[in-house]
Amino acid sequence: MIQVSGLIKDYGARRALNNISFDANQGEIVGFLGPNGAGKTTAMRILTGYMPPTDGTVTVAGYDVVEESLEVRRRVGYLPETVPLYTEMTAVEYLKFMADLRHIPNAEDRAYETLESVNLQDRANSYIGGFSKGMRQRVGLAQALIHRPEVLILDEPTIGLDPNQVVEIRELIREIGKDRTVLFSTHILPEAQLICDRVLIINKGRIVAEDTPENLQSRLVGAQRVVLRVRGDADGLDTTVRKVKGARNVETKPDETVEFEFSSGQDIRPQIAKAVVQAGYELIEMRAVGMSLEEIFLELTRDNPSGKKSS
């Protein structure tokens, strides 16, 4: 549905996107993850036909975003980061206007239907100016959905919402993503983990990683981290652990647990357990902790990425 290859965008002398390539298929929810200023919005603006790329080819639903911009725009629903609303219109007037721009027959009926799909039918005839942030976001989403687009592009759709609203919007995105291509950006990692089929991590105009949330985790983590807990004091426990061959990065945490790592493929947990018990501790817990996407993200977006980089 979306094909991006060698995409470059310069703003004057500043290179906002540096040779980006990725695909997104039908029925796939792809998350664009990255810190502010990474180039997420720029990439989305190019995909929606708002601005042309400096170089590279971008096709959406088989149409080139530069050559066949109008065809692309007909097939894309877009929710920009600042939700674009006419506050002096009612929700239904606004959606009817958008439906008219998209030549939808029975625009008014469609406006009401779409408001229902975002759960705003009760406020159809209220002015948008009086809406809460969450309601505005939903009107914005309704606008992006009004023409039942094949591709939906959402720029930070959950930003500034309260937790209940975030859950609602996420469910809506998941629902929509069943039969459409959804590309959405976020800088909240668990969100990407929750909704996406695939995550693209973007930083400083480059894609630094691309995979399913699960694979990203296991692929990028070359080591397994384990937490140890014993009954009573953990004094000297770290020394005991360090003595076991293969244990690395041993740390005593403030909550009297000890964490250590071992390389994947050489599981030293039995040796550790034996050593701990032999040293006289009562072992009550030994648990593997996955490196969170958060840590992976930090790792990847650091100024000098370590050897774990993958793309």
Partner 1 sequence: MRNIWTIAKREYDQYFIGPIAYVAAVLILFVLGVFFAIDLLQFQQYAFQDLSGFLNTEREINLLPFFFIFLIPALTMRLVADENRTGTMELLLTAPLRDWELILGKWTGGFLFVLTIILATLIYPIILNSMVDPGIDWRLLASMYLGVILVAAAFLGLGVGISAVFSNQIAAFIVTFLTFVFLYWVVGFPANLPITGGGVFGYLSMSNHFSDFTQGAINLGALVYFTSLTILGLFIGTLSIEVRRWR
Single out the residue of 17, 76, 173, 228 in contact with partner 1 (rule: CB under 8 A).
76
Helix residue spans in the chain (DSSP H):
40-47, 69-75, 91-101, 107-117, 133-145, 163-176, 189-195, 213-220, 237-243, 269-278, 293-301
Q: Which stretch binds partner 1 (CB under 8 A): 83-91, 161-169, 186-194, 261-269?
A: 83-91
Q: Which is nearer to partner 1, 128 or 293 (CB)?
A: 128
Q: Name the packing angle between helices 133-145 and 107-117 (round to 10°).
A: 130
- Map the footprint of partner 1 across residues 95-114, applying CB under 8 A: 97-98, 100-103
Q: Which stretch binds partner 1 (CB under 8 A): 79-87, 183-191, 251-259, 290-298?
A: 79-87
Query: Considering the rule CB under 8 A, would residue 118 count as an interface residue with partner 1?
Result: no
What amino acid occupies position 27?
G
Q: Which is nearer to partner 1, 139 or 216 (CB)?
A: 139
Q: Which is nearer to partner 1, 100 or 285 (CB)?
A: 100
Cα 1 to Cα 60: distance, rounded to the nearest angstrom:
6
Query: Considering the rule CB under 8 A, would residue 58 count as an interface residue with partner 1?
Result: no
Bridge partners of residue 90, in order along the sequence: 127
Distances (CA, A) of 104 to 48, 79, 163, 258: 19, 19, 34, 62
Instruction: Check if the beta carbon of residue 92 is closer than 8 Å to that of residue 112.
Output: yes
Please work out the total of residues on this chain that contact partner 1, with binding judged by CB under 8 A.
27
The 129-148 contact track toward partner 1, x by CB under 8 A, reads --------------x-----
Residue 123 tokens read as 């406020």
Query: Considering the rule CB under 8 A, would residue 83 count as an interface residue with partner 1?
Result: yes
Cα 46 to Cα 92: distance, rounded to the nearest angstrom:
29
Query: Considering the rule CB under 8 A, would residue 49 count as an interface residue with partner 1?
Result: yes
Q: Which stretch binds partner 1 (CB under 8 A): 66-74, 227-235, 258-266, 290-298?
A: 66-74
Query: Considering the rule CB under 8 A, would residue 160 count as an interface residue with partner 1?
Result: no
Single out the residue of 32, 63, 78, 262 in contact with partner 1 (rule: CB under 8 A).
78
Bridge partners of residue 154, in order along the sequence: 79, 184
Shortest reach from residue 41's CB to partner 1, in Å: 10
Selection from 95, 89, 91, 52 nearest residue 77 by Cα: 95
Cα 57 to Cα 54: distance, rounded to the nearest angstrom:
10
Single out the residue of 6, 11, 162, 284 in contact with partner 1 (rule: CB under 8 A).
11
Q: Which residues bind partner 1 (CB under 8 A)?
A: 11, 45, 48-52, 70, 73-74, 76, 78, 80, 82-88, 97-98, 100-103, 143
